[in-house]
Amino acid sequence: MSREGCCLKIAPFRIEQYFAVHEFTAPHLLSSSDAETVSVASVLALEPDATDRLGSLALGYTQSAGAPELRAAASAIYTTTAAQDIVVVSAAEEAIFAAYHALLKPGDHVVVETPCYESALQLARSTGADVSEWRRSADAGWAHDLAALERVMRPNTRMVYINTPHNPTGALMPRTVLDRVIELCAERKAWLFCDEVYRELEHDPTALLPAAVDLYEHAISLGSMSKTYGLPGLRLGWLASHDRAALTKIIDFKHYTTICSSAPSEFLSAVALRHRSVFADRSRAIVLANLALIDALMARHADRLSWVRPNASTIGFMRIAGVEETDGFCAKLVADAGVLLLPGSVYDEPTHVRIGFGRTTTPEALRRFEAWLLQQS
Ligand SMILES: Cc1ncc(COP(=O)(O)O)c(C=O)c1O
């Protein structure tokens, strides 16, 4: 199929469809993946002159690759990058769209780690590429089966998408697995597209995995203001890579999506990233306090609730004993108690639910979930 003859067909994004229905009406959110947010004023308070600088910021277009101060601030997250190795995008969602469409053509082979944030799979398919899933299974404790990856890789595999820390399980990829994935990519000079939007929210900060961009020349690390730093309203993310040719193609594609990102968002993101440990530490403290409550809840309901305990991020994937199809369970929970869990069917894992615990409102949502659970037995 020629590129010219191809038209963009994308399956509906089930996760976002579900949140579009419930996120702004359900009173007790218990599945959100973004950490507790803060006000614009709190970001501006981090630097003495930030309020004045935002006030005098010109609202013209910014550079397509991103504002220089933001590219510099984002490059400091990694150990081997400089500002020119960063391309700013309007959040991770644009990054996934732009990276796939800029780098892949119909007939290319791509491997996507699943279950995953749905756009990572659907947008790969929307390029016309031939997409294979590297599927992890609940029965194997969501372990990364490297033999399975080797089976789906082909000599002409152009890209592998992975996500660590992982949505929906909240698990970090073990370092040995990451190293082997890189070897398999390097043998083919394939891009490793590593979605790291939950990075720096390891529950034990010493468990931080190196970013893919710092390990492999054809790696593209994806970062976002949305999750660890709790600032999704900025709609700001970035791609980091040493592969200049790939970044140039992505910028060329971005000229057809947003041209450049929002100037105020770039400014606020640069301020926040220069102080990113403030946000990451705050998010981690909230997550750890909520995890202790979830541990206690699960101990009280061990006959019904189980999971592979997450070791990073704001989310985990829970099994509810006796419920083979959690759509109805979640629908009843939100209708009866106003508590929002995300049914695993949106990941093609209908026996599970995604729970989110990055908010200060999580304790109240958990109390209401437990009260409802007790009424069901
Ligand atoms: C793994 C993953 N990647 C990307 C995104 C998109 O994030 P954003 O567009 O808010 O930066 C999400 C959001 O849930 C996600 O979980």
Pocket of ligand 1 (CB under 6 A): 33, 91-93, 117, 163, 167, 195, 197, 224, 226, 232, 237
Mention every residue, 6+ apart, whose C-beta is less than 8 A from residue 32.
Answer: 23, 314, 356, 358, 359
Distance 211 CA to ligand 1 centre (A): 17
Nearest to 366 by CA among 318, 321, 311, 310: 318
DSSP letters spanning 72-122:
HHHHTTSSS--GGGEEEESHHHHHHHHHHHHH--TT-EEEEEES--HHHHH
Which residue's CA is the nearest one to ligand 1's atom 4? 92
Q: d(Cα 179, Cα 212) in Å, to the nearest integer?
A: 9
- Across 226-248, average pLDDT: 98
Q: Which atom of ligand 1 is nearest to the CA of 15?
A: 14
Residue 242 in tokens: 């040493």
Which residue's CA is the nearest one to ligand 1's atom 10? 226
Distance 237 CA to ligand 1 centre (A): 9
Strands (E), the chain: 28-29, 86-89, 109-114, 130-135, 157-163, 191-195, 219-224, 237-241, 305-307, 315-320, 339-340, 342-343, 352-356
Omega of the bond prior to 115 within 30 degrees of 0, cis? Answer: yes
- Across 317-332, average pLDDT: 96
Fill in the DSSP letter of residue 265: H
In this predicted model, which residue has the larger pLDDT, 376 or 4? 376
On whether the CB atoms of residues 327 and 264 are closer than 8 A, the answer is no
**Residue to substitute in 162, 197, 269 for testing ligand 1 pocket (most ligand atoms within 8 angstroms of CB):** 197
pLDDT at 100 over 70: yes
pLDDT at 242 over 90: yes
Q: Can you say whether the dihedral through the CA atoms of 266, 267, 268, 269 is positive or negative?
A: positive
pLDDT at 53 over 60: yes
Domain chopping of the chain, boundaries? 14-39+277-376, 50-275
The architecture in CATH of the region 50-275 reads: 3-Layer(aba) Sandwich (3.40)
pLDDT at 377 over 90: no
**pLDDT recorded at residue 2:** 47
339-363 pLDDT, tens digit each? 999 999 999 999 999 999 999 999 9
With b meaning 16 or more CB within 10 Å and e meaning fewer, what string describes 182-195?
bebbeebebbbbbb
CATH code assigned to 14-39+277-376: 3.90.1150.10
Mention every residue, 6+ apart, whose C-beta is less than 8 A from residue 281.
Answer: none
- Across 212-238, average pLDDT: 98
3-state secondary structure of 6: coil
Q: Which atom of ligand 1 is nearest to the CA of 94?
A: 9
**pLDDT recorded at residue 11:** 87
Q: Which atom of ligand 1 is nearest to the CA of 237?
A: 11
Phi-psi region of 157 (alpha: psi -120 to 50; beta: other; left: phi over 0): beta
Q: d(Cα 314, Cα 326) in Å, to the nearest integer?
A: 20
